[in-house]
Structure 1
Amino acid sequence: MKIKVGVAMLVVTIFAILIDGYSCKVVQFIFGDSLSDVGNNKYLGKSLAQASLPWYGIDFGNGLPNGRFSNGRTVADIIGDKMGLPRPPAYLDPSLTEDMILENGVNYASGGGGILNETGALFIQRLSLYKQIELFEGTQTLIRSKIGKVAADKFFQGARYVVALGSNDFINNYLMPVYSDSWNYNDQSFIDYLMETLKAQLQLLHTLGARQLMVFGLGPMGCIPLQRVLSTSGDCVDRANNLALSFNKAGSKLMDNLNAKLPNSSYRFGDAYDVVNNIIINPSKYGFSNSDSPCCSFGKIRPALTCVPASVLCKDRSKYLFWDEYHPSDSANQFIANELIKKFGFTRVDQGDAPSSAPAIAPSPDQN
């Protein structure tokens, strides 16, 4: 009888150690759009928002397309690396397992997605923030079934969360007359609509365990190459930039209110508008030579919208702020990430020195 009791106690002790090991690993859960997508849209067969063609990914790992809408890393990649966090794999990656989730977290970001469900409808398939949160709920069910509710709750409450959407709600919704939101709202009422929706979404994430969360603000989206080339002057579009500033101001206020309201929450707003705007105004000061046109372009045909194999690349990708008509280059993302790290005083979590098993950025800026 004593032997049976001893064996039972040993089994319980081992099980507790295993659960504690799972719950102590700090991982990231990322919700976002194409600025954070690491491959989800690759598995949305009908989606028109794709980064599956060369030259996307040319400066990352083996240089092949990997689902990131850039030549290299995302801002979330770089911040996570600096903090010693693993890079979370795409949720829709068919190789994703419960063990991978426990080791690395998950990235739900989807190119074309927005805070609003209606945003990005022209892309046919994309994951809105509500859909991404729904998928996160499914992830929680999987993890609870594997390690139990108590350990799962500890695991999810100890994780880091990133929410980075909003630009599509303007560029691929409100600012396009084909969407009903463009005539149902004015600038202020649309910002209010976005904030009401985002508030409900962040409160939902809190009920699901999100305690340490950062919402990324918008950059000067009126200065992306697409907006410039569609304007009559080639200059930045002031209205779009003013909307980004209004979004950031409202978003920062929302984070303050939620921090005061939600128990045990540490919700931050990452505003990099001035960081990017400073590069646009004076690129050479920050080591860039071009801040108004894409590195990857289809000759004189603009806007080409996406980078394609027939596109021509700039001679030095590290000197361009923008990779394509929409998205920053790896060098720009690194600069933005470093500024946010300094601004918020991010420190490494206690997980060793290696950022992750994901491939590092390829060193050569030369076109193959």
Structure 2
Amino acid sequence: MATAMNIPPLSFIISSFLCVLLFGARCLCESVPGMYVLGDSIVDVGNNNYLPLALAKANLHYNGIDFPTGIATGRFSNGKNIADFLAEKMGLPSPPPYLSLVSIFKKLSSSNAMVSGVSFASGGAGILNEMEELFWQSISFTKQVGYYSLVHEQLVQQLGSDEAQAHLSKSLFVVIIGSNDLFNYFNKNSKSSKEYTPQQFVDLMVSTLKGHLKRLYELGSRKFVITGVVSIGCCPAQRKDSSTGDCNAEINTWSMKYNDGLKALLHELKTELSDIHYSYCETYDVLNNLVQHPETYEFTEIKEACCGCGSTLKAEFPCTPISTYCLNRENHLFWDLYHPTEHTSSVFADSIYSGSQQITFPMNVEKLVNA
């Protein structure tokens, strides 16, 4: 029969448990010391708040209604977005907006925040620079890469060249972009559609992105997390133009064509630059699965925006304080006319991080961490 002397005290058990948790988190942070995010409104955490003329902003209530602070932060969501959830999985703080680290003199602060990651993502951004003009102000992908080059300089000064390279080679570079370019091309007043066939346009998107990814490689990036464009024709803004609320099949077709080009590009990059590692997530299939089998994740509304205005799917105007919003955000696929709810973003983040080889290849992020 065991005596009291053989039973570890409760304080020891609790301490040991906490050590395991802390040690595990520390190890993950050592494996992924930083996360650098480039992209559009799907992962914007507030950069556009610092652009006085930007049309695409999410700094008004009811955005952020389910965020821990309960206030709008510049995220196009009722709460957290994909970038927030991925950072949590890495044991990292959510990367702050790049523009929040820049002083009024346009100089980067020496904040340690840059070591654990920075977000350059901007609502309205596209792979092609014309998106910046369309939204008056947004941070184009070209400019985002340029801003990262300044962060790279700062890290070299702060850590030294060798340590900065070691740090960046283990960090994750999350790239989620492309939807806005396609939205713009298929807009009725698009100049691009007069200059390019759809195939020429998606080829231009792919070749332009390749140049940017190679530039990121030159600046120390080695591990990329890249998603395809989702079935954007199924968002409320596209469905509202159909009398039956159907998805826009044409724009979905070209989203898939772009994704095919993106996958080929990543394969080429890996051939050209053998020390690159990447995880690609076919988020098109993830969203399609949610649309076709919403009950799997307890969604009951897949067409209408939770927050918005208008008699058709609440998709006539963005989410603002004069909008109406749904009380149960958990059961809505879309937060506003374009963007996912926090619940949907968490499903995307889970798929990106630990998805099967059917949707993430050549590996998911969980495996990329140790590649």
TM score, norm. by length of structure 1: 0.84
Aligned 1:8-157 pairs, distance under 5 A: 26-94=33-101, 97-157=109-169
Aligned partner of residue 174 in structure 2, secondary structure: strand
Match of 1:191 in 2: 202
Residue in 2 that maps onto 1:284: 295
Offset at 1:207?
0.7
Does the residue aligned with 2:163 lie in a helix, a strand or coil? helix
Write the distance in 1 (CA, Å) between the matches of 2:135 and 2:247: 25
| Structure with more contact order per residue of length (Cα contacts < 8 Å, sep ≥ 6) | 1
**Letter matched to residue 61 of structure 1:** P
TM superposition shift of 1:279: 1.4
User: Any idea what SS the aligned residue of 1:98 has?
Assistant: coil
Match of 1:200 in 2: 211
1:275 aligns with 2:286: yes
Instruction: Tell me the secondary structure at the aligned position of residue 214 of structure 1.
Output: strand
Aligned to 2:21: none
Give 1:262 deviation, angstroms.
0.8
Letter in 1 for 2:33: V
AA paired with 1:111? G
Residue 94 of structure 1 and its aligned partner are, at CA, apart by: 4.4
Identify the match of residue 192 of structure 2 among 177, 181, 201: 181
Residue type of the alignment partner of 1:26? P
Q: Please give the alpha-carbon distance, in whole angstroms, between the structure 2 residues aligned to 1:257 and 1:299.
A: 45
Q: Deviations over 1:127-170 (max 9, x none)?
A: 11110000011111222222322222222222110111000001
- CA separation of 1:24 and 1:233: change in aligned 2, threshold 3 A: closer
Which stretch of the first structure deviates more once superposed, 114-123 or 214-223?
114-123
Letter in 2 for 1:156: L
- The structure 1 residue matched to 2:366, chosen from 341, 344, 347, is 347
Contact 2:49–2:57 (CA<8 Å) still a contact in 1?
yes
SS at match of 1:97: coil
TM-score (norm 2): 0.83
Instruction: State the distance in 1 between where 2:177 and 2:368 align.
Output: 25
Q: CA deviation at 1:119?
A: 1.9
Distance of 1:215 and 1:67 partners within structure 2: 22
Work out the CA distance in 1 between the residues paired with 2:139 and 2:259.
22
CA RMSD across the alignment: 2.1
Q: Which residue number corresponds to residue 221 of structure 1? A: 232
2:305, 2:332 within 8 Å by CA — same for their partners in 1? yes
- Compute the displacement of 1:92 (Å): 0.4
Structure 1 distance, partners of 2:265, 2:367, is 27
- 1:327-342 equivalent positions in 2, closer than 5 A: 327-342=339-354
Displacement of 1:345 in angstroms is 4.2
Runs of 4+ in 1 over 6 A off after TM superposition: 22-25
User: Is the alpha carbon distance of 1:238 and 1:307 closer, same or farther for their aligned partners in structure 2, counting shifts above 3 Å?
Assistant: same
Cα 1:196–1:287 change in 2 (3 A) is same
C-alpha deviations, 1:304-352, integer Å up to 9, x for none? 33101111111200000000000000001111111222224433999xx
Query: Given that residues 168 and 221 in structure 2 are in contact (C-alpha distance below 8 angstroms), is that contact kept between their aligned partners in structure 1?
Result: yes
Secondary structure in 1 matching 2:112 = helix
- CA shift in 2, pair 1:160/1:258, >3 Å: same
Describe the SS at the equivalent of 2:111. Answer: helix
Give the unaligned 5+ runs of structure 2.
1-28, 103-107, 356-362
Instruction: Quickly say closer, same or farther: Cα 1:174–1:276, change in 2 above 3 A.
Output: same
Report the number of matched residues.
Answer: 328
Farther-moved stretch of structure 1 (44-53 vs 74-83):
74-83
Determine if the alignment matches structure 1 residue 249 to structure 2 residue 268. Answer: no
Asked if the contact 1:25/1:102 (under 8 Å) is kept, the reply is: no
Distance in 2, matches of 1:111 and 1:253, equals 27
Partners of 1:211 and 1:50 lie apart in 2 by 31
The residue type paired with residue 186 of structure 2 is L
Matched residues in 2 for 1:199 and 1:175: separation?
A: 23
Match for 1:89: what amino acid?
P
Task: Select between 99-108 and 190-199 the one with higher mean Cα deviation.
Answer: 99-108
8 Å CA contact 1:216, 1:271 repeated in 2: yes
In structure 1, the gaps of 5 or more residues are: 1-21, 351-368
In the TM superposition, residue 62 of structure 1 has moved relative to its aligned partner by 1.4
- Structure 1 counterpart of 2:178: 166
Whether the 8 Å contact between 1:153 and 1:209 is mirrored in structure 2 is: yes
The 3 A distance-change label for structure 1 pair 120 and 239 is: farther
Matches of 2:311 and 2:32 in 1, distance apart? 50
1:231-256 CA-partner distances (Å, limit 9, x unpaired): 34421100011011111111111111
- 296, 312, 318: which is aligned to 1:306? 318
Q: Distance in 1 between matches of 2:186 and 2:234?
A: 14
The answer to whether the 8 Å contact 2:225/2:365 transfers is no
Query: Contact 2:277–2:368 at 8 Å: present in 1 too?
Result: no
AA matched with 2:231? P
